[in-house]
Amino acid sequence: MNNLFLVIIAGGSGTRFWPKSTSRRPKQLLSFSSASEPQAPSLLSQTLNRFDGLVPGGAQGQKHRMIITTQLLSEAVAQNAPQVTILAEPQGRNTAPCVYWGARAVAEKDPRGIMLVMPADHYISQPEKFRTSVRAAAEWAQVHDDLVTLGVQPTRPETGYGYLRIGSALPGGTCRKVDAFVEKPNAERAQEFLRAGNYLWNGGMFVWRADVILKAFDEFMPEMKRAWESSGGDLQKAYPQMTATSIDYGIMEKARNVVSFPLDCGWDDLGSWISLEGAADVLQARREGGVVTGGELLAVESDGNIVDAPGRLVAILGVSDLIVVEHGQAILVAHKEKAQDIKKIVDRLKTVRPDLV
């Protein structure tokens, strides 16, 4: 299919994986090593590579592949993505304006072009299975005026993701109607969702024709078109007037033509250091003493640790449930229960050591 257009959303700042991530090197530019890829490329590079053979690349990449990112990151992103069009947001305004910009850019080239909207920073261990699902979704979008989501088959009662409640199978048997978008559940509901079987993780991956999503914008967010038209079609100028909200909230939760293709391809969004434990099987990162996504771990009388220190040997003795990370000039040792407080460290460093955040 030569009418596929990849739109990667690669904004985001970098506090949750500090010190590996920083404001200038957020998650999408990081690599987490795995048994199958000890020298893994960045998550963004992996995301791009995943579409080789599906979306035209190489000399055609400039036309068929685009990355929407922030101005701060555009240079670093461009280094990771040499043959891709980079769109630098004038300011971060959540995902709905990104998608609108992407849809306009695709429609200019092919009004019925099929957009693959993808986050830049997810991990997928079985890219071939992923491509098979994306191809099926694209073929569906080609002939149906639907908004297709790629929902991820849950493998654990995860409370960190939103869910899609799916309904009856549509003709063909794989595609399912999406009945509802469900907020992040508590542990009990997450268990129910897993048992029930009709819930998928909402991974923020979408497949649709440019004309279909633009029509949805006109229906649910008509201010987007007004902003675009009043700026004479200059998205850079229109951007500040666009509603800063997510595509989920702005469009997906309201639209009635939402369907889903379930993905079962070893997917994880790697949301924080803690999430690496959930993703450890996918990353094949379990070792004696904990989960290791960089470097070597020698653990004595220690368990449940999360270690990322590429090129280093980390010896852990008599301590458990720690996050131990080394990057550049910084070393982090945090209790796992405090993972959400890493931003406290980052905030304090902003004044005393801005070079490190």
Nearer of residues 14 and 61 to its own copies, judged by Cβ: 14
Nearer of residues 109 and 353 to its own copies, judged by Cβ: 353
Question: Under the rule (CB under 8 A), what is the footprint of its own copies?
Answer: 19, 296, 298, 300-301, 309, 311-319, 322, 324, 326, 329-335, 337-338, 341-342, 344-345, 348-349, 352-353, 356
Nearer of residues 176 and 327 to its own copies, judged by Cβ: 327
Please answer whether residues 312 and 296 qualify as being in contact, where contact means their C-beta atoms are separated by less than 8 angstroms.
Answer: yes
Nearest approach in angstroms of CB 284 to its own copies is 20
Nearest approach in angstroms of CB 30 to its own copies is 18
Nearest approach in angstroms of CB 17 to its own copies is 13
SS (H, E, C) the chain: CCCEEEEEEECCCCCCCCCCCECCECHHHCCCCCCCCCCCCCHHHHHHHCCCCCCCCHHHHHHHEEEEEECCCHHHHHHHCCCCEEEEECCCCCHHHHHHHHHHHHHHHCCCCEEEEEECCCEECCHHHHHHHHHHHHHHHHHCCCEEEEEECCCCCCCCCCEEEEEEECCCCCCEEEEEEECCCCHHHHHHHHHHCCEEEEEEEEEEEHHHHHHHHHHHCHHHHHHHHHCCCCHHHHHHHCCCCCHHHHHHCCCCCEEEEEECCCEECCCCCCHHHHCHHHHCCEECCEEEEEEEEEEECCCCEEEEEEEEEEEEECCCCEEEEEECCEEEEEEHHHHHHHHHHHHHHHHHCHHHC
Nearer of residues 187 and 300 to its own copies, judged by Cβ: 300
Nearer of residues 1 and 300 to its own copies, judged by Cβ: 300
Nearest approach in angstroms of CB 344 to its own copies is 5
Nearer of residues 216 and 342 to its own copies, judged by Cβ: 342
Nearest approach in angstroms of CB 322 to its own copies is 7
Nearest approach in angstroms of CB 184 to its own copies is 24
Nearest approach in angstroms of CB 18 to its own copies is 8
Nearer of residues 122 and 327 to its own copies, judged by Cβ: 327
